[in-house]
Amino acid sequence: MADKLLIRAYNVGCGDCIYVRIPKARKKDGEVDDFHMLIDCGSKAGEAVLKAALNLLKPELPLANGKRRLDLVVLSHEHEDHMKGFNPLFFEDVAIENIWLSAAMNRKHPQSKIARAFHNLAETAMRNVAKRRVALSPALQEMVSLYSISNESAVKTLTETLPEQNGIAPVYVHSDSKAAELNLKTLVGDVAFTILGPDYNIDYYYMGDEGAIDLRAFSEAAAGVLASGRAPADVQPGNISSLDFRRLQSRMMSNAFAYTAKDSTLINNTSIMLLIGWRGRRLLLVGDAEWEGTFVDGQHNGAWNVAWKRQRAKLDQPVDFLKIGHHGSTNATPWNDKEDRTVTEASTILDAILPLPAGNMPKSGPKAVVSTARTPYDVIPRSTLLVEIAKRVSNTKIYAPLLSPAQIQGLPNYVGFEEALLGEPQPQRTDMETLVTGKPYVDIEIEPAAGH
């Protein structure tokens, strides 16, 4: 309906491609129109599925001088499952008015020098691993893919190509960004955009005091054999046996992967955490922001913990919509993952934003959606987390009876990770919704609050 805000999560496999339409929230040259946003466009499934999603999106956008208009593009963070679809060819017929990127992507940001150097080392190390074509486990192959050359192309598209095509400059946002700095000159009505993360001081809050030490250690781990990208026989020194050299190489490789995993977590934790206020409603879209046990000043912290510490007054209220983070991963929505009901900082955050209802959940209660696909790993999605969230939202489904035996048999690792809990309510999931409805997206509609 015309008076409802729309969130549409396209089914792009394990990735995010999210369209938001805010009714009557744009005014230019005296004309009032809907405000159109694209938050992320990425997938581990490849570009074809993303191109298909964008082809479905474009007819939803208004025409502007022969092109389809997007008022705002937001990239939450620089991982392929959020940005792989930012191919300039896909956007040739789209006029973009604003681009927001995480402050962590700003190569000149004064408070992320250590984080940026750490990321550059991870990128170099993983690309050299890829060159060597060594046999890797699926998990390590996935890590290497996070630093592929296609990621660099997507970053260039968002920081240079699309801004130049549209006569704009990207805005690097953080939790200290003021409304004027966000540059949404056409936004009108009862709408407010608040950035809860990342914090401006990236090195301090997400790297911590040990960041410089980690950087030096990573430099040593990524040096020599690993950084060279050459095969072992080409670089073995003469003063070490072949067996000792292989052990050394294995240890260096292991250390480099360990530090790269830390960089990947850092990228997730510097996701844009966006709170949209609209006509008495609160919508929270968090990228892949992660949580840890408890905030500790001066140490590396999870994004949720930093936001709870630094932006608590804005976060410590129920939301009407949650984009479940990191495709349903266990470490991306704050909760008591031990499931023993002990009160923790993480469970306190969840109780604040999605409190358990006192009685039956009303149909007008909060909603959530997760862009996910069952993977070979139990953490994405974590079914027990989805069942826990389902207790707190109104748009749930029990998927097991809605799927055919053939569909169930086609789910990867169904017996290990899905069988026990697909018979319990879960929030709407892009993968299951496509199986059940045939639609390549999930629509969530939000009505204005009473009196708004």
CATH of the domain at 302: 3.60.15.10
Under DSSP, is residue 205 helix (H, G, I), strand (E, B) or coil? helix
Residue 228 has pLDDT above 90, yes or no: no
Residue 235 has pLDDT above 50, yes or no: no
Under DSSP, is residue 368 helix (H, G, I), strand (E, B) or coil? strand
Residues 6+ positions from 182 with CB-CB distance below 8 Å: 100, 171, 173, 193, 195
Give CA–CA dist 225/233, Å, rounded.
10
Q: Report the candidate in 114, 92, 89 with the shortest Cα–Cα distance to residue 104.
A: 114
In percent, how much of the chain has pLDDT > 90? Answer: 74
Q: Report the candidate in 60, 82, 79 with the shortest Cα–Cα distance to residue 71.
A: 60
Rounded to the nearest 10 degrees, the angle between the axes of helix 242-269 and helix 113-132 is 130
Q: What is the pLDDT of residue 327?
A: 96
Tokens (6 digits) for 394 = 């109104």
Q: What is the pLDDT of residue 223?
A: 66
Give 313's DSSP letter: H
- For 42-73, give one letter per residue: b (16+ CB within 10 A) or e: bbbbebebbebbbebbeeebeeeeebbbbbbb
Q: What is the pLDDT of residue 240?
A: 42
Q: What is the pLDDT of residue 413?
A: 82
pLDDT tens, position by position, 390-431: 999 999 999 999 999 999 888 888 888 888 899 999 999 999
Least confident of 15-19, 161-165, 200-204, 223-227: 223-227
| Cβ proximity of 346 and 352 under 8 Å | no
Give CA–CA dist 434/327, Å, rounded.
15
When pLDDT is cut at 50, 70 and 90, the band that residue 224 belongs to is low
Residue 227 has pLDDT above 90, yes or no: no
Give CA–CA dist 82/44, Å, rounded.
9
Give CA–CA dist 421/419, Å, rounded.
6
Residues 6+ positions from 316 with CB-CB distance below 8 Å: 308, 352
Under DSSP, is residue 49 helix (H, G, I), strand (E, B) or coil? helix
Give CA–CA dist 150/152, Å, rounded.
5
Q: Decide if 451 is inside a domain.
A: no
Residue 231 has pLDDT above 60, yes or no: no
The letter for the amino acid at 447 is: E
Residue 389 has pLDDT above 50, yes or no: yes
Residue 16 has pLDDT above 90, yes or no: yes
Residues 6+ positions from 417 with CB-CB distance below 8 Å: 374, 378, 383
Q: Decide if 452 is inside a domain.
A: no
Q: Decide if 151 is inside a domain.
A: yes
Instruction: Give how many domains the chain has, as a whole number.
Output: 1
Residue 232 has pLDDT above 60, yes or no: no
Angstrom CA distances, 180 to 63, 173, 192, 441, stand at: 27, 12, 12, 33
When pLDDT is cut at 50, 70 and 90, the band that residue 250 belongs to is low
Q: What is the pLDDT of residue 376?
A: 67
Q: Decide if 86 is inside a domain.
A: yes
Of the CA atoms within 13 Å of residue 59, those in its CB half-sphere come to 4
pLDDT tens, position by position, 322-373: 999 999 999 999 999 999 999 999 999 999 999 999 989 988 999 999 999 9
Under DSSP, is residue 177 helix (H, G, I), strand (E, B) or coil? coil
Q: Decide if 288 is inside a domain.
A: yes
Residue with tokens 């129109």: 33
pLDDT tens, position by position, 92-125: 999 999 999 999 999 999 999 999 999 998 888 8
Q: Domain range spanning residue 114?
A: 5-446
Please state the rounded mean pLDDT for residues 155-162: 96
The letter for the amino acid at 262 is: K
| Cβ proximity of 9 and 439 under 8 Å | no
Mean pLDDT rounded to a whole number for the chain: 90
Residue 234 has pLDDT above 60, yes or no: no
Under DSSP, is residue 262 helix (H, G, I), strand (E, B) or coil? helix
Under DSSP, is residue 391 helix (H, G, I), strand (E, B) or coil? coil
In percent, how much of the chain has pLDDT > 70? Answer: 92
pLDDT tens, position by position, 61-96: 999 889 999 999 999 999 999 999 999 999 999 999
Tokens (6 digits) for 122 = 């991870």
Residue 197 has pLDDT above 50, yes or no: yes
Question: What distance lies between CA 444 and its chain's CA centroid?
Answer: 18
